[in-house]
Structure 1
Amino acid sequence: MGYWNSKLGVSGETWANIAPATTGQYDAVINGATVTQNGMVFAKTTDHVQIPIPTELKSTTSATFEMRMRSDGGFNNGYADLVNQDGRELIWIGPYELVLSGIFDTYKYRDHKYIPIKNPLRLIYITITADLTNGRITAYLYDPLTGDIESDGYTTDIGTIADGDFVWLSRTQTPHSGIMDGIRIYNRVLTQEEIARNWAVGIELGI
């Protein structure tokens, strides 16, 4: 449903969505972040990117969110957030931990699952799947340097995605120092085989 690669589609403050099915829609807005050969770099406390959630995702019963990230260890334990229209942070992907907080849950802001990130100063791949039919949220973390894969998850009372939801890459309240790139959003739960195939191609299009 959406794909943002810093090597493609960046023009001024626009980071174009280049997913084949939705090209021309859901372009992200860049505020201060800079494109380098290593990816989208966040180097100031005000740097952030705002990615709209595809409309097609709002009526589905499952979803997958993927990204590549590295922390430089600075700022305020910066996060990539999935934020609903009320400003609630529903996923926090931080430099030292990944926090699942009722992902895609508009109203029930209560459950939390903390997953430590062992090597935050290295580039890692993060995949989060959410199945709204059974409330199961699963996170996968892959370190391409070592080949290590971690996964964990939990079951909660997941709601739906509300109009106005965004993915924020870094925020003024919780700024990120480092790289975030290769954002993919799907309107279904990817299989573990599909996730591994995406990791194999890095931040390229994937499946």
Structure 2
Amino acid sequence: MDNRTQCPVCRAPNATHSGAGANTFEIHCPRCGRFQIQALAETQLMNSPPAFPPAHLLSGLCRNTWDILGERLLVTVDLFKSWAELDKVAKLAVPRDTDVAAKGDYLLRYLRRRSKTLAESVALTPNELAVGFCANKQELLFCLRYLAERGLIEDETAAPRGGKGPQAPQGGGLVYRLTPAGWAALDTASVQPAQPLAAVSLTLDKDADALWTQGLS
């Protein structure tokens, strides 16, 4: 039986919680995607969160394992021990906290997966923090700026060109799209430096930021 509860990883509300076997549950979280978790690990995350791994990195691993591989990561207490244990289980590379290039690459590939046409704009909500293994909106903007300064993406948040494309979602959402250089970089798997095509504003709306800081921050 499904029921709605708080996600044990990112603490976002409205996650679906259901049984998946002996002492194992399946979680469907808008931010973390679909993953499985052992009862002991869930209890520890909810009652006495471990120092490792940082919640946003575990959230990112769950989300990208589901989005990219279509597989459900099984979260156990072993993952809370060390980088070695986490890397042993992970089927994707887990960026270290300051690895802006790796986080940017995950974001770039997410924009590609969401783009049906070359010029399509993609809306980013607080749920997409996990896509880039980002702890908060400021870090997400930093990683997006890294991509923009290399000419791989451009900011469409303020005014999508020609009035087309998604408007910025309510709650301070963002809208970006791949540039021609971004598409070419993904096609060739070789990112070439380019002149900046966009700048990211770091001026944040305090009222809207509540949605971004809820849970992980």
Q: Choose between structure 1 and 2 for higher RCO, CA contacts under 8 A separated by at least 6 residues.
A: 1
Task: State the TM-score, normalized to the length of structure 2.
Answer: 0.29
Higher helix share: 2
Tell which structure's C-alpha radius of gyration is larger: 2
